[in-house]
A and B are shown apart, each in its own frame.
Chain A
Amino acid sequence: MANNTSGASHNFKVVLLGEGCVGKTSLVLRYVEDKFNTNHVTTVQASFLNKKLNIDGKRINLAIWDTAGQEKFHALGPIYYRSSNGAVLVYDITDEDSFQKVKSWVKELRKMLGADICLVIAGNKTDLEKNRNVSLEEAEAYAIKVGAIHFQTSAKLNKGVEEMFLVLTQKMLETVEEKEAQNAPLSRQNSQRRNVVVVDDDQVPPPPTRQCCSNS
């Protein structure tokens, strides 16, 4: 559950999505362990990590779920991002394909989870600026269009990683609190039953209006 009854602490689930080799694991390791060279990392596994935060006196626990990025596992995405509060969509600025992949993820996420999920798009590997293939303007314009926030990150140089997760957390917090204010007694049901909304490609989805079989 996204929100605890006490209100003082929150558990957020964040999924990392993106093509293979764009640096999802490096990003999360940089954030949680503040290390880049995998030889120095003490963590046994980097696929599931917890990070504790404190924002405005609110205790927040981020559960960061890494996902398999290979194309053949794309179909499994829904199982991963089900009931997550936020998603970090990572692409490699030197790889145009990985950016296209992010676009497809965004569409899918908006389709499945609607506006409940907070999206962050991360253009990783800015240390390889000279090989850039994805223009910053294009990426930022796209992010604004789909209601996501764009960041430029480098796990290697430790740039933008902390900031990105912080902003995402704040956004998730806002979303949750907004929802709590709206319908406090029904918060659980809502988080349980996310509505499926089918959207056109480049539109921010409308707020969910209909529930399956709600009239019977």
Chain B
Amino acid sequence: MPIFALQRSYKYMMYATKQPSLRINQADLKCKNGCGYYGNADWDGYCSKCYRNHMDQERQRKARQSHSDQTKVSGFSKFEEKKRQQTDKKNKYLKSLPVFRKTSSAKDSGRPERHLDLRQANPDADKLTAEFISLYGVWGEQVRRDFFKCVQSFTTKIYSELENKPIEDIAEMAQKYYNLYSNRVNNTETYQEVTTDVRDELLDFFEKYVMVSLYSWLFCPPSTNDEEKDLIIQERIRKLSWVNAHHLDCCISETSIEVRDLVYTAITHLLGMDSMKAPQDKLSCVVSCCQSVVKVLQHCQGGPVSADEFLPALIFIVLKANPARLKSNILYVTRFCNDSRLMQGEAGYYFTNLCCAVSFIENLTAESLNMPQQEFEAYMNGEITSVSAWESALVACEGMHQLCEHLSLLKDLSIRTNTVQDETKKLTDDILKFKEEMNEKVNSVLERTPLIIKPRKTPELSEKVDDTQNSQNFYLQNLQIATSNIDDAKTKLQLDITPCVSKTSPTDDHSLSKINYDIDFSDLSGESSLAELTPEKRKSPSFTPDPFSPVGSSCPITQAPLIPTKPDDFVLPFVETQETLLEKEDEGPNLPSPIKPMTAQYSGFSKQGWQIPSIPCITGELGANASQANSQTSQDKEN
């Protein structure tokens, strides 16, 4: 299709590379080959046909060359250059095998392999599909199916043509496809229910989907010299690093912090362009960069920003940012972004401005910076190195940033050390407190415990103590009980029965099943000095219901004595210590008789009786703890 062979980049790049002049000679515009058609600076001054011939020849020459010096690798260190080598190698490889390439693309058998390849190479496809379903799933299965059908046909078609056609033709195809799909969305029944807004979104999404899918083939394709252009512009910008805002007559104030921040933001957005895949995403990066530039200018001068001020500022930003693969990105967007978006709208305007800025940088002369040629040359050769305010400001900014980071880090660290110190202080306090507490406890325990240790050594004393009742301690009694338990078994039984019979006479039926409790009563009465009182107390409640209950039942009566006694049984042995100690003194003469019942009580509760002696054991443990604590504290002291 020779008519379409006119390259799209022509529209962008051709004129800008020419110096302004009122007259452009006709000869200047014609093809270098003299075929009579118009040439293009982008095609080295050839027309499209001659350029293609020329490039074919070049390729063949290169292919021949590549056989001879395939291993020639010069030591580049930069990423771009490395990448270029890789693509060059790939290029050479592909070109050195033209026969293989042709056959594989011509054969149908090659196709399924390619599909697979395409899907593997596109990790974003699943994400995009999911996004599509979440966004446009509501419009029904038909829309979805049609969308993916179109995507499939688009990618397949482009992919199959990728190696046979120059990138400009591919771009032309892509644009036609966009139009085709646009017509399809607007005119087919499938999309009838879709609202106009969503239709536009669908078109955008279509573009995004196919471009992300084909990104690795369409961005900076090996068949072009985009990579070289990238390197050239990068080197150029690097050389122009001395250019400052004053050279460009741009009113960016270099001292304001806000302005610096905004400049940083703009630079970040511009740098972010390279990481995007879809053309519209790249465009939106450009837009946000330009919006930041507008903000910068507004900050510096106030009022609405006109193009007279905007363009120099954008040039300045581009110079300071030196974005990676700038030219490749611009060309990619130019080729594959939907024309309608690129020609119209704010995004188109800003992108055009970026193209202008790049073009200006490429053709920058001493004149355009209003400086003498000699000075310009000196700058470019590095003979003069100016410390531009911006350079230093940016460096200072960097320093400030680091300073701030370090300060915050230090602050954080000091807070942490403070907390650590507080914690250690607390810990030492706790340790001291614990030590004191332990000492107190140990002392208190020691106050109580010395009595334990002594009787253990003299178990025979117990009988004497029993008899005399001079023993002061409950524990001692317990110990004694524990030891003398078995011996007294017989006496208990005898004692138990007698009070049982005497007391529980009204409730004979139940007494049998609750012998234990009955025994307890007797024990209580017998054991404690209150023995005489308690029966009376019990009798009074048990007797009072009696007048009411003869008709009813004996149950309340039997229960009545049981309920109050229960707690007594459990409490008394513990409370006992105080009571007995107090009252034993008072009721000295009664003592001999309670002694035996008391022993009987514990034997009656054989199990409980075994538990109670365990109390001394606990005190023993406490003593052990105390000794441990002591050892700990002594260790602490040592430490």
A binds B: yes
Contact A38 B304 (CB under 8 A): yes
User: Cα distance A65–B349 when bound, in Å?
Assistant: 7
Is B472 on the interface with A (CB-CB < 8 A)? no
Known interface pairs A78-B15, A78-B16, A111-B24; A68-B312 also in contact (CB < 8 Å): yes
Binding site for A on B (CB under 8 A): 2-3, 5-6, 11-12, 14-16, 18-20, 22, 24, 26, 29, 37-38, 47-49, 179, 182-183, 186, 249, 294-295, 298, 302-308, 310-312, 339-340, 343-346, 349-350, 352-353, 355-356, 359-360, 363, 367-370
Interface segment, A123-131, A146-154, A192-200? A192-200
* Majority secondary structure, A binding face: mixed
A73 touches B304 (CB 8 A): no
The answer to whether A196 touches B38 (Cβ under 8 A) is yes
Report yes or no: B349 in contact with A213, Cβ–Cβ below 8 A: no
| B306 in contact with A1 (CB, 8 Å) | no
Partner of A107, one of B6, B22, B308: B22
CA distance A63 to B249 in the complex (A): 27
Other than A25-B306, A74-B20, A79-B15, give 16 A-B pairs with Cβ distance below 8 A.
Answer: A25-B307, A45-B294, A47-B306, A47-B307, A47-B349, A63-B349, A65-B349, A65-B352, A70-B249, A76-B356, A78-B16, A79-B12, A111-B24, A212-B6, A212-B47, A214-B2
Q: Determine if B306 and A66 form an interchain contact, defined as CB atoms under 8 angstroms apart.
A: yes
Q: Is the CB of B349 within 8 A of A48?
A: yes
Contact A73 B310 (CB under 8 A): no
Interface of B is mostly: helix
Given contacts A188-B179, A213-B49, contact A11 B344 (CB under 8 A): yes
Distance, CA A170 to CA B19, complexed state (A): 34
Q: Is A205 an interface residue (CB 8 A)?
A: no
Contact status B343-A1, CB under 8 Å: yes
Selected from A5, A25, A69, A80, the residue in CB contact (under 8 A) with B183 is A5
Neighbouring B residues of A69 by C-beta, 8 Å: 307-308
* Nearest-Cβ distance from residue B459 to partner chain A, whole angstroms: 102
Contact with B along A33-50 (1 / 0, CB 8 A): 000001101011111100
On chain A, the residues within 8 Å of B343 by CB distance are 1, 13, 83
Contact A75 B349 (CB under 8 A): no
Q: Are A45 and B310 in contact (CB under 8 A)?
A: yes
Report 22 cross-chain contacts, Cβ distance below 8 Å, ordered by A residue: A1-B344, A13-B344, A20-B308, A29-B304, A39-B303, A47-B349, A66-B306, A68-B308, A68-B311, A69-B308, A72-B368, A72-B370, A73-B360, A76-B360, A82-B11, A193-B6, A196-B29, A196-B38, A198-B24, A198-B26, A211-B6, A212-B38
Instruction: Give the residue of B49, B339, B340, B352 whose beta carbon is less than 8 angstroms from that of A80.
Output: B352
Q: How many residues of A contact B (CB 8 A)?
A: 51
Chain A's closest residue to B50 (CB) is A213
Among the listed B19, B20, B37, B298, which residue makes an inter-chain contact with A212, where contact means beta carbons less than 8 Å apart?
A: B37
In the assembly, what is the distance between CA of A188 and CA of B307, in Å?
29
Tell me, rounded to whole Å, the shortest Cβ–Cβ distance linking A64 to chain B: 10
CB of B85 to closest CB in A, whole Å: 32
Q: Which of A29, A39, A67, A193 is within 8 Å of B307, CB to CB?
A: A67
Residues of A within 8 A of B344 (CB): 1, 11, 13, 63
- Bound-complex Cα distance A120 to B221 (A): 42
Interface residue? A104 (CB, 8 A): yes
Cβ-closest chain B residue relative to A76: B356
Residues of B within 8 A of A112 (CB): 15
Q: A44 contacts B47, CB within 8 Å?
A: no
Most buried by A among B183, B311, B340: B311
How many Å lie between the Cα of A81 and that of B353 in the bound state?
11
